Amino acid sequence: MLIDLILLVAGISILIYSADLLVEVTSSVATKSGVSLVVVAAVVVGFGTSMPEMAVSVMAAARNDLDLGIGNVLGSVIANLSLVLGFAALFGKVPISQRALRTYFPLSLNAVFWFCLFIQGGLRRYEGFFLLFILIISLVLIVKIEKKDAGSLDEDSIKEPPINEEHAIAKGKISMQDAIRSITSLLGILLSSYVITESSIGLAGAWGVGSGYIGATLVAAGTSLPELVASVVAVRKGKPEIIIGTILGSNVFNGAAIGAGMGIIGPGKVGDSTLMGWITFFALLAIVLVWIGKGLAKKPLGRIAGTLLIVIYGLWLLLVWL
């Protein structure tokens, strides 16, 4: 059991590092290839924040453990909406903009809704393709929203951070270093997701719980750790507005992209339906009501609301375990 726990922690650490490296390389390659900075910010970064969850969930589905994958997605979605945001609110006020409520919030709920609907009893391949369709539509809308908000912003006026002359690369030229880093990050993601899957199954057996619960707790908390740390840092630096967009964008990818990957690559039936029952439904409902209530009241999330969100997350973990 101890070895499985050590492997799980090591796997999550490698996965987070590899996913971060992949986002960095992909953003660099996209910019050099002439892709709009708006598209890079809306799509590449959004995909990257969900890469840890996607790698683990799709690997689990491919190895016929759909429970682990589904548990990871549900745990990550609820952790993002409650634990991450609630913890950040303990360090400062987090405003929920009307723009977020009108755009990203509906897209996030739509992706999560279809995912939760399809996983009742299992996930079929045609449902995976439907989630892929939802993802494509969501991405198109996100890019349009970002371009509209960018308005007359002159992208050429955005200064890129200075780089060392030894590593300077002419714009439009993709280097061998980019290719090596891309391959390294992908191998790291594949290896770490395999280790996380195997160690999670081992822990589930040792503790006498379903792999879905391990996915929703330890794995989901581990893969959501970067968002939690980034959110706290953003609040402490006086830039809390970026938290909401990151959380909601991540959930679009969690519900649609990961659901599509699991459905297409590893469709099957669910062994433990506890995570997909009324407890999760009411937890999500309570979280959504907190979000909408604060958003419509045009009041930022403070310590009281943050504590409430953390309590909801804790109660959800406890009730699905009992």
Name the nearest CA neighbour of 5 among 211, 194, 244, 196.
196
Q: Are 73 and 53 in contact (CB under 8 A)?
A: yes
pLDDT of residue 166: 40
Distance in angstroms (rounded) separating the CA atoms of residues 222 and 43? 23
pLDDT of residue 163: 41
- pLDDT value at 150 more than 70: no
Read off the tokens for 47: 């995909």
64: left (phi over 0), alpha (psi -120 to 50) or beta: left
Q: Are 41 and 248 in contact (CB under 8 A)?
A: no
Distance in angstroms (rounded) separating the CA atoms of residues 89 and 116? 27
Query: 202-215: per-residue pLDDT in tens?
Result: 887 788 778 788 88
Please tell me the number of Cα atoms within 13 Å of 280 on its side-chain side.
Answer: 25
Query: 48-80: per-residue pLDDT in tens?
Result: 667 788 888 888 888 888 888 898 899 999 998
More confident residue, 244 or 133: 133
pLDDT of residue 230: 74
- pLDDT value at 113 more than 90: yes
Q: Specify the pTM.
A: 0.79
- pLDDT value at 4 more than 80: yes
- pLDDT value at 81 more than 80: yes
Alpha helices in the chain (DSSP H): 2-32, 37-39, 45-49, 51-62, 66-78, 85-89, 98-102, 104-118, 125-150, 176-207, 211-214, 220-223, 225-236, 241-252, 259-265, 278-296, 303-321
Quick count: other Cβ atoms within 10 Å of Cβ 304? 9
What's 2-148+176-321's CATH class?
mainly alpha
Averaged pLDDT, 34-45: 60
Query: 166-201: per-residue pLDDT in tens?
Result: 444 445 566 788 778 878 887 887 788 788 888 888
Binned at pLDDT 50, 70 and 90, residue 157 comes out as very low
Q: What contacts 219, CB < 8 A, 6 or more positions away?
A: 8, 12, 56, 68, 71, 72, 75, 196, 200
